[in-house]
Amino acid sequence: MSRSVLVTGGNRGIGLAIATAFREAGDKVAVTYNSSPPPDGFLAVKCDITDQEQVDAAFDTIQNENGPVEVLVANAGITRDTLLLRMSDDDWSAVIDTNLTGSFRVAKRAAKGMLRLRKGRIVFISSVVGMLGSPGQVNYAASKSGLIGMARSMARELGSRGITANVVAPGFVETDMTAVLPEETQKQYLSQIPLGRFGLTEEIANAVRWLSSEEAGYITGAVIPVDGGIGMGN
């Protein structure tokens, strides 16, 4: 059955692969973007997830066009990497506000509709860094581990209404976000990945689509690593 799916930050990178996977499975897919729109084939809605009014307006548009959101993938995220003593309040706040609070804003709004439907799937895109930590990413790691506590609390609150909340924790995936990392850092990551290669955006998308399927109906509050083994045991 065709469901109303929303992928935040679905215009490029991992988000676009996720949006494409749902579309190929026959769902009606809305994609929010902040700067540049996605390719054709999606309901494209401009929405800065740091702005509650824009989030509310986006949900109104999606509900009118595709029906209430039944599957939410909170994917939009940013980095502002720098070492702790150089990290400004602004570096900290921007990352927390986008990655953690932005995900809270969209999940809260989506849950409202899902409670009425008495079903729903929420998937947060975290990162292996949220569990391992990473030098230069104090803000990012905090935002990504915050998503885990948030998802698990939602899983407990919403479970009795048939709503699941899970987390996918990717490892290193080649996108615009990682392209800016120095070659030396990339090499270092690569040497620690048991599978010996970086991940593909489609590999993250497959896990998200499965977690949102009927088949995964008894999974909630889970953190699914898709990381080539780099985060094993965490």
Rounded to the nearest 5°, which phi and psi values hold at 131?
-105, -40
Binds ligand NDP by CB under 6 A, chosen from 20, 34, 164, 220: 34
Active site residue 140: yes
Q: Kindly tell me the burial class for residue 8, based on how many C-beta atoms sit within 10 Å of its own C-beta (0-12, 13-18, 19 or more).
A: buried
What tokens does 81 get?
Answer: 């990497």
191 touches ligand NDP (CB under 6 A)? no
Task: Choose the stretch contacting ligand NDP; rule: CB under 6 A; options: 12-20, 22-30, 83-91, 112-120.
Answer: 12-20
Q: Residue 155, annotated ligand binder?
A: no
Give the nearest distance from C-beta 179 to ligand NDP in angstroms: 8
* Spatial distance between the Cα atoms of 51 and 49, rounded to a whole number of angstroms: 5
Helix (H, G, I), strand (E, B) or coil at 72: strand
Give the nearest distance from C-beta 8 to ligand NDP in angstroms: 6
Q: Residue 166, annotated ligand binder?
A: no
Q: Residue 99, annotated ligand binder?
A: no
Half-sphere exposure of 136 toward its Cβ, with a 13 Å CA cutoff?
7
Instruction: Report yes or no: 189 and 5 within 8 Å, Cβ to Cβ.
Output: no
Residues annotated as binding site?
9-12, 75, 140-144
**Residues in the site for ligand NDP, rule: CB under 6 A?**
8-9, 11-15, 32-36, 48-50, 75-78, 98, 125, 127, 170, 172-173, 175-178
